[in-house]
Amino acid sequence: MIHLEGISKSYKIAKRQTGLRQAAKALFYREYTTIAALKDISFSINQGEIVGYIGPNGAGKSTTIKIMSGILVPDTGKCTIMGCTPWKERTSYVKNIGVVFGQRSQLWWDVPVMDSFELLKDIYKVPQQEYQTTIKLLIETLELQEIVNSPVRQLSLGQRMRCEIAASLIHSPQILFLDEPTIGLDAVSKIAVRKFIKTINKEKGVTVILTTHDMNDIEALAERVILIGKGNVLYDGHLEELRKRFGTRKTITADYSQNTSPIKMPAGAEILSYTQERLSISIDTNHTKTSDAITQLSQQVELTDVTIETQPIEDIIVKLYKEYQI
Amino acid sequence: MSVYFKYLLIHFKSQMQYRTSFWLLSLGQFFIPFSVFAGLYFLFERFGQIKGWGFFEVALCFAVIHMAFSISECFARGFDSFSDLIIKGDFDRVLVRPRSTFVQVLGSKFEFTRAGRLLQSVMVLIWALSSLPIEWTITKIATLVLMMTSGVFIFTGIYMLAATMCFWTVQGLEVANIFTDGGREMAQYPLNIYHKWVARFFTYVIPFGTVNYLPLQYILGKTQGSDLMYMVTPALGSLFILPCFFVWQFGVRHYRSTGS
């Protein structure tokens, strides 16, 4: 459905130097540097997938989204989405996609949200009947009943984001690009947005590509992640696979009745905290099995409670960034 | 085109959220050209006529160009303030919607407060027309309508050229105001009062002459030679927007390949 091959894109950026003299000079003469935002991006996405597109700031996430939505023309490479080349057949292509830029609104600021929806209906030429059913569904699932009649400027960020997502789905697109859809939202709104994305993916088979810095979004939504850094694809695969490869450490926290004698730690364990009632260690499951570590501890102390935590995905990503030096 | 009216409607609703500022700004817009017109009036009171043009004839010139200007500022404001769209990055949004960039940019902004200016020039128009001994015919009325249209087209064309420059410069270019504000100020008098090269520039390069000076000679019965030639000039002047349109399309393509 989506197919990118060898996409590269570089920007020409004016060199800026500090100081008044340099600024004055820049008025007449400018030096440019070329920055390669994307070097060689290739991947394919099938219909109905939810793909998390992640990477540090400036990795080229937004550039890729812009190329896939037809806003930018890449320097080299091929991009075929639903049989179209986005930047060539712009008007016929964009009917099939919805785009949410988390940091920018697509609604009209001073009028009730419903008026914006109506205008979008006309822009996308959605038949009245189809619009009625779609909008009803969107209002119900995103719980917009109470806010659709207020002007956008009076909405909270979370409410606005829900309206933004609804707005990008009025024409029932088959692909939805979400560029940081949960940026700045509180926990409740984040969960609502995630739930909704999951629903439309399941029920309508909408393919979703989302960029985010919130790994909980990825964990909740995406089975597949594409990690990019410095303009290259660094990892493309299952989230679980990523966890297996990089998230091999587990944290074991054990509570026990008071113990004064020294405890022999499992091999390769890293002590995080240690008191007479509680011990917290981190182990590498490649070397020590979790069950072995617990058995070893139980032989030495009288355990009352044990919790095992998997390494948060955030840590894994940080580790990945480090490993690839991005 | 119907979607353009939908845009118009939503912007009108937005404007009505700020009624007081709308009335005040419109009032201001009413008085700005009013003072210019007062200057014109006193000029003619002192000198009687300029190069064979009387006060009411020049008032007609003034009314037509100011009407065209206020209409185009109201309805083509999107192009006039296009740099905002680029700076805020909202032009990306335009590109992901399945409509022409032209109609979307046109619909991105309206300046309803220009109604004040329009009202003022309509009043001048009525005053001038009722004071001039013109024998009205259908073709003369049609010519008058065409004059307005060509004025709107020419102003819009200049806005489009200036907007296209924003694809390279990002910031808006005040230099375009030489041609919009400057052109308007020049063309509120008949072009023959200026130097030859000025008149030529505003006839053949930016054809403001076709908005009032040339066709007015037909309406006022001042023509030498064929009436038809003078009559069709506004239609020819309207064609100015065509090259502007192509330049615009070129700019859009440039934007998409640089990503600035």
Average pLDDT, chain A: 87
Name the H helices within B89-137: 91-95, 101-106, 115-131
Q: Give the model's confidence band at A82: pLDDT under 50 very low, under 70 low, under 90 confident, else very high.
A: very high
pLDDT at A124 (0 to 100): 93
Closest residue on chain B to A122 (Cα): B3
What's the domain range around B203?
Answer: 2-258
C-alpha closest to that of A148 among A118, A103, A180: A118
CB–CB contact B99 A123 (8 Å):
yes
Contact A52, A210 (CB under 8 A): yes
Instruction: Give the separation between CA B38 and CA A4, rounded to whole angstroms.
Output: 65
Counted residue by residue, chain B has a size of 260
Task: Give DSSP secondary structure letters for A200-216.
Answer: HHHHH--EEEEE-S-HH
User: Regarding the domain delimited by A2-106+168-243, which CATH topology (the fold level of the hierarchy) does it fall under?
Assistant: Rossmann fold (3.40.50)
Read off the pLDDT of each residue in A148-167 and give the average, rounded to a whole number. 90
Q: How confident is the model at residue B172 (pLDDT cuts 50, 70, 90)?
A: low
B58 within 8 A of B189, measured Cβ to Cβ: yes
**Cα(B92)–Cα(B106) distance, rounded to whole angstroms?**
15
Reduced to 3 DSSP states, what percent helix, strand and coil does chain B have, rounded to the nearest 5?
A: 80, 0, 20
Instruction: Report the b/e string of B224-260 with b at 16+ CB within 10 A.
Output: eeeeeebbbbbeebbebbeebeeebeebbeebbeebe
CA–CA distance, B26 with B39 (Å, rounded to integer): 21
The percentage of residues in chain B with a pLDDT greater than 90, rounded to a whole number, is 52
Domains of chain B: total: 1
Angle, alpha carbons A311-A314-A318 (nearest 5°): 105
Confidence band of A326 (pLDDT split at 50, 70, 90): low
Instruction: Name the interface residues of A facing B (CB cutoff 8 Å).
Output: 9, 11-12, 63, 66, 69-73, 87, 90-92, 94-95, 97, 99, 101, 104, 106, 108-111, 115-116, 118-119, 122-125, 151
**pLDDT for position A17:** 67
pLDDT higher than 90, residue B126: yes
Query: CA torsion, points A304, A306, A307, A310, in degrees to nearest 10?
Result: 170
- As a whole number, mean pLDDT of residues A290-313 equals 85
Instruction: For domain A248-310, give the CATH superfamily.
Output: Malonyl-CoA ACP transacylase, ACP-binding (3.30.70.250)
Tell me the Ramachandran region of residue A204: left when phi exceeds 0, alpha when psi lies from -120 to 50, beta otherwise: alpha
pLDDT of residue B241: 94
In angstroms, what separates the C-alpha of A244 from chain B's closest C-alpha?
A: 38
Contact by Cβ (8 Å): A74, A4: no
Chain A residues inside the 8 Å CB shell of B96: 69-71, 94, 97, 99
Are the Cβ atoms of A63 and B259 closer than 8 angstroms? yes
Q: What is the pTM of this model?
A: 0.85
In this prediction, residue B134 carries a pLDDT of 85
Mean pLDDT of B234-240: 92
Say whether A126 sits in a helix, a strand or coil. coil
A231 and A60 Cβ atoms separated by less than 8 Å: yes
Using CB atoms within 10 Å of the CB of residue B4, give its burial: 0 to 12 exposed, 13 to 18 middle, 19+ buried. middle
- pLDDT tens digit sequence for B43-95: 998 888 888 888 999 999 999 999 999 999 999 999 998 988 888 888 999 99
Residue A191 CB burial class (10 angstroms; 0-12, 13-18, ≥19) = middle
User: Where does the pLDDT of residue A273 fall: very low under 50, low under 70, confident under 90, or very high at 90 and above?
Assistant: confident
Instruction: Give strand pairing partners of A33.
Output: A13
pLDDT per residue as tens digits for the range A122-150: 999 999 999 999 999 999 888 899 999 99
Q: Which two tokens stand for residue A255?
A: 């509570």
> Would the CB atoms of A123 and B3 count as touching at under 8 Å?
yes
- Alpha helices by DSSP H, chain A: 20-28, 61-68, 90-93, 113-123, 128-141, 157-167, 187-204, 215-221, 239-246, 290-300, 313-323
Closest partner residue to B14 (CB to CB) among A71, A104, A110 is A110
Q: How confident is the model at residue B225 (pLDDT cuts 50, 70, 90)?
A: confident
B202 and B186 Cβ atoms separated by less than 8 Å: yes
Domain ranges of chain A: 2-106+168-243, 248-310
Shortest alpha-carbon distance between residue B171 and chain A (Å): 14
Phi first, then psi, for residue A108 (nearest 5°) are -85, 125
How far is it, in rounded angstroms, from Cα A146 to Cα A162?
Answer: 12
Q: Which amino acid is at B206?
A: I
Residues contacting residue A51 through CB under 8 Å, at least 6 positions apart: A45, A208, A209, A210, A222, A224, A225, A226
